[in-house]
Amino acid sequence: MKEKIKKPKTKDIALFAKEWAALLNAGIPATDGLRLLSKRKNRQFITKALKKTEEGHTPAQSFTETALLPPFFCALLRIGELAGTLPNELELAFRYYEQEQEIREKIKTASYYPAGLFIFLIFITLFFLFFVIPSFAELLKEMDIPLPLITEIILSIALFLKAHGILVLLMLLLGMTATTWYFKKDGGKNRDNLLFKSKIMKKLYLIRFQLALSSLLDSGIVLTEALDEVAGVVGNRNARRCIMHFSKELRNGRDFDKILQDNIWTKDDMAGIVEIGMKSGQLAYFLRYNGERLMKEQSENLKRLQKLIEPAMIIIIGLMTAALLFSMLIPVFQAVGNIQ
């Protein structure tokens, strides 16, 4: 049984592009460079392509056939081979995937702390429901202290979870499985629709679109062909549909900036800068500038969102803990009041 080769991570693709470009600039032939790089750890994706290269395929053909690297990377390889600018295309690939990795890391970083607080909230709640409240309620009953409504409700929830916890867990797992199936069916169509409605993700797709397009234009590829290539790398079918529409309209003779102006996705954050780029003859430069500007802006937005979420989660944890504590302390206060 053949061992399944995992696709490399974005940061590994960026590093590979940088290292291969350096070897080519040093005068080492492409195949020899791949042979050297394949000896490094976790470089099976290079080894598989190298075998095809040694059989007579070009590097672009080899990596395309193995389907282990993104289509955009393979497109840059094809351009580099045809134009004789492979080191330059690999440098472009390095910059693009380095920026892509930066975007991913910022999204992860922004979500870690809220996720950690949410998990902590769940553990605190379960600890009170399963251990503290039932024991305390039993003690109050032994002392003939009547339980108020809020304590009775929370105790009922705790007892229900204790008695039917496995059933509740199975229901949650079933719900998660059904949700995962819903978002994965039809090739992830529902997931793509949901993500494209998110302002954050929508802007991230726009950043990816501009950075990828600028890289291809820098390589000398014409705009219509560049749009066709970029459509396959944005990572969302809704965004891909928009880009294919741009390409079609461009072939029909419309101005690129006017096409973008008519689309709600590109109207505010791309159309204006493209108009400047078209008039100045430096479209690739302005696309990269705008993509990097939006990425910086998005990074700041994620930081602000994190700063808003953190205190909100702390307040929620505090309120939940206070509610659970008061559900236990209220009957004690009532009992003390009755004694007095």
Task: Give the angle 167-169-172 at the CA atoms, nearest 5°.
Answer: 110
User: What local confidence, expressed as pLDDT, does residue 301 receive?
Assistant: 80
pLDDT-based confidence at residue 92 (cuts at 50, 70, 90): confident
Task: Specify whether 269 is located in the same domain as 337.
Answer: yes
User: What local confidence, expressed as pLDDT, does residue 337 receive?
Assistant: 64
Residue 38 DSSP one-character state: T
Q: What's the rounded Cα separation, in Å, for the pair 69 and 63?
A: 7
Residue 69: strand, helix, or coil: coil
pLDDT at 63 over 60: yes
Task: Specify whether 204 is located in the same domain as 286.
Answer: yes
The crossing angle, in degrees rounded to 10, of helices 149-197 and 283-339 is 170
pLDDT at 76 over 50: yes
For the chain, helix, strand, coil in percent to 5 are 80, 0, 20
Task: Specify whether 115 is located in the same domain as 52.
Answer: no
Best-predicted range by mean pLDDT (114-128, 188-202, 298-312): 188-202
Task: Specify whether 207 is located in the same domain as 314.
Answer: yes
Q: What is the mean pLDDT of the chain?
A: 84
Within a domain: 87: no
pTM: 0.71
Q: What's the rounded Cα separation, in Å, for the pair 131 and 151?
A: 14
Q: What's the rounded Cα separation, in Å, for the pair 214 and 207?
A: 11
Mean pLDDT of 142-147: 73
Longest dimension (CA), the chain: 96
Within a domain: 79: no
User: What local confidence, expressed as pLDDT, does residue 143 receive?
Assistant: 73
Within a domain: 78: no
Task: Specify whether 339 is located in the same domain as 289.
Answer: yes
What are the angstrom distances between the C-alpha of 108 and each of 39, 111, 127, 194, 336? 31, 5, 28, 19, 50
Task: Specify whether 126 is located in the same domain as 203.
Answer: yes
Within a domain: 171: yes
Mean pLDDT of 253-266: 94
Residues ≥6 apart with Cβ < 8 Å to 87:
21, 24, 25, 80
Q: Could you tell me the two tokens for 336?
A: 């003390």
In angstroms, the first-to-last Cα distance of the chain is: 80
Task: Specify whether 308 is located in the same domain as 170.
Answer: yes
Task: Specify whether 185 is located in the same domain as 277.
Answer: yes
Mean pLDDT of 82-87: 84
Which comes out higher in pLDDT, residue 147 or 231?
Answer: 231
User: What local confidence, expressed as pLDDT, does residue 181 receive?
Assistant: 84
- Please give the tally of structural domains in the chain: 2
pLDDT-based confidence at residue 336 (cuts at 50, 70, 90): low
User: What local confidence, expressed as pLDDT, does residue 309 receive?
Assistant: 77
User: What local confidence, expressed as pLDDT, does residue 267 receive?
Assistant: 93
User: What local confidence, expressed as pLDDT, does residue 61 receive?
Assistant: 92
Task: Specify whether 219 is located in the same domain as 336.
Answer: yes
Which range among 4-8, 197-201, 220-224, 309-313 shows the weakest confidence by mean pLDDT? 309-313
User: What local confidence, expressed as pLDDT, does residue 139 receive?
Assistant: 75
User: What local confidence, expressed as pLDDT, does residue 1 receive?
Assistant: 43
Structural domain harbouring 19: 10-69
User: What local confidence, expressed as pLDDT, does residue 16 receive?
Assistant: 94
How many residues can be counted in the chain? 340
User: What local confidence, expressed as pLDDT, does residue 224 receive?
Assistant: 93
Task: Specify whether 109 is located in the same domain as 171.
Answer: yes
Task: Specify whether 311 is located in the same domain as 236.
Answer: yes
Task: Specify whether 291 is located in the same domain as 223.
Answer: yes
User: What local confidence, expressed as pLDDT, does residue 126 receive?
Assistant: 79
Within a domain: 83: no
Q: Could you tell me the two tokens for 75?
A: 């497109």
